[in-house]
Structure 1
């Protein structure tokens, strides 16, 4: 792994960690505390488990290279169990009890918004390493995952050029799904298409039979999905069981970031399109080396790497380089270092902090599923978070601490 500003040695070492609540570090401890709160059980563990593995790998790599500023980095890893209450509990524990120097946490936008104000109040630096709906504008919060302007804006026109102009949208019924569906409709319209219908589903819904019947009747050229979580994998199985995957193809903004392609058969999944800031097929030497080390670490049955898992690693390494650049793990100087235009060259390619938004410019890829593996069919270099740039300017107003799309795009002045 290489940084744009200095080299960083890679390696691995054993590191003790805890997945249970932690009382806090001892007074006078010289360790730098890195807290992670992820869903390692419950319906969202398909995302959280690989993220935890790469987070542990990042901390091991940092310590194998001598730690930071001559100090060991200690990982406090919490399992939020796919429960928002535990996110708020553990965020408070990490900030007030552990006195963490940074917290990397959250998967759903609901979990992010549950803990973001807490970490801001305690002035604890927060990283959200997940592709999401965009719109967070918070000086204390760095969002390293892709946003709709980087991915949805790519996969929608690609799918329309491939399959046709009539689109049916299915999405999870919370902020991510609702707002991403608005972006989908915007990009469909901009590219001369028509949205036939939009349906939302709570995260625990497993019966999609009535919706599949509606899709069959509507006869769209393709379906685009923003379904989320283990329960929603049922949609793809039921869709294929009805023979619909042979008639009306699917594009998605979420399928694959939980390695759902390994939970359904090749016959059920072949042909699905998706767009993310990373697929395993990213063609660069750093990615090849990263995957080789991961397999040596976890064995041949290691989880498939996706954007969420790789961005968790890259987010930790961006933070580590900022600590070295700042000469201290303290929040203020680290934020200043991050916002200096810091770039990390990781498995996904170059990732650069945009100081206007505290988001990242990144490479973006479109993948097509074949035999449970993603084949990259298009790539786009150095894509900015243009959606969040429309509503956020932390250079001009560093005191912003809001989620600008909380009430939808129209409320944010975006039609």
Structure 2
């Protein structure tokens, strides 16, 4: 991100010290005598190790709110964003979650990137009855009527990625993953899909988010001689693996397929030779050429400039999440939390940049498209699409129709 674009972003995105963010559309509605604004919470990392991932998520919240306000707001009222930057710090996540619920009294919160951040703030919003949208791809299993999870889960993406990658390389895999619930559980799904397709996992290694030295692991991989590396590494620090892998002369010798590569803009920030050929699967890629996708990217670039970070599933699902929540409010005719939840459970769909996204009533997850892609010349080349993928992993353990008071994250037995 250029200095000019970053200044523009920080000035408009609403850091913790900036308080409320009012768009021109909000000001127009207020000037016309609209009622008090409906407050929408945004809790995304704008700095720290995950800042590059969180910045486009914040911009997507702003874009969606501007669009809703330009169309007349909701229930005759404008929307106003309350945005905080937890700075990739779990303690700040908890602090700002309480502030959004108790002081700001927002109608809804869209927030969280890592599963650790989600599990820090989810109990806060449950306790204080604040509707929560987690719009991030994750390992699956959350069953909570107060929360809607609109990102992809392993049954939607990993189930496609692993056999596709194995078909191009071979049956022996080596897994490297972040050492917290996302990496640990995703590694189990990688193992399942590898074995389901006749493969073998030679070893699995986990790394804390602050690890930057992967030399010993690269030596282990060289000794193990796998056909494929499956990566669920997370954040800017773990990007070092791909640089060190290339520096060790391993690039091109053993293919890499990842459930996270690209979420911190790696194809753009790494040298072309370091990212070339890496495979991924997500619910959205910026390179999708559908009219809805192109319009979304064009609007972001027109509003914030070409220098914003890569627009991944994280940002797209956030944009779609705001619009889906708005559809729930329109259908409910109120911002009352339970009435909006009941309206969303009616199977609301939204045609967004990623395709049609539908709320799955029993799980509060999304039925959505998944896409396969490979990095070529620092861009994603989308090679496969799978529409209307259900969150079957979470559906195996969560049924909020039968058990509406369920409130936990299950680890699916694999």
Runs of at least 4 residues of structure 1 off by over 4 A?
Answer: 21-25
In structure 1, the partner of 2:380 is: 374
Q: 1:271 and 1:17, CA in 2 relative to 1: closer, same or farther beyond 3 A?
A: closer
CA gap 1:22/1:93 in 2 versus in 1, 3 angstroms? farther
Q: What does residue 69 of structure 1 align with?
A: 75
In the alignment, which of 111, 119, 142 is matched to residue 117 of structure 2?
111
The answer to whether 1:254 aligns with 2:260 is yes
1:38 equivalent in alignment to 2:34: no
Corresponding position of 2:169 = 163
Query: Is the Cα–Cα contact under 8 Å of residues 22 and 98 in structure 1 kept in the other structure?
Result: no
CA distance in structure 2 between the partners assigned to 1:85 and 1:55 by the alignment: 23
Please give the secondary structure, in 2, of the residue aligned with 1:197: strand
Pairing of 1:281-360 with structure 2 (within 5 A) = 281-360=287-366
Match of 2:63 among 52, 57, 63: 57
Question: Size of the alignment, in residue pairs?
Answer: 392
Q: Would the alpha carbon gap of residues 378 and 23 (structure 1) be closer, same or farther in structure 2, given more than 3 Å must change? A: closer
8 Å contact from structure 2 (residues 161, 372) kept in 1 = yes
Per the TM alignment, residue 20 of structure 1 is displaced from its structure 2 partner at its CA by: 1.6
Shift of residue 18, structure 1, vs aligned partner = 3.1
State the TM-score, normalized to the length of structure 2: 0.92
CA RMSD of aligned residues (A): 1.6
- Asked if the contact 2:19/2:83 (under 8 Å) is kept, the reply is no
Shift of 1:398: 0.6
Q: Is the 2:260–2:280 Cα contact (8 Å) retained in structure 1? A: yes
Q: CA deviation at 1:23?
A: 7.6
CA positional deviation for 1:397? 0.8
Cα distance in 2 for partners of 1:326, 1:282 equals 33
| Residues 40 and 81, structure 2, Cα contact 8 Å, conserved in 1 | yes
Matches within 5 A, 1:12-411: 18-20=14-16, 30-405=36-411, 409=412
Partners of 1:152 and 1:262 in 2: CA distance? 23
TM-score for the superposition, normalised by structure 1: 0.92
| SS of 2:251 mapped into structure 1 | helix
> What's the secondary structure of 1:325's corresponding residue?
helix
Counterparts of 2:18 and 2:142, CA distance in 1: 29
> Aligned with 1:388: secondary structure?
helix
For the residues of structure 1 that align with 2:141 and 2:190, how far apart are their CA atoms? Answer: 15
**Hey, which of these two has a bigger chunk of helix by percent?**
2
Show structure 2 runs of 5+ residues with no match: 1-10, 22-34
Tell me the SS of whatever aligns to 2:47: coil
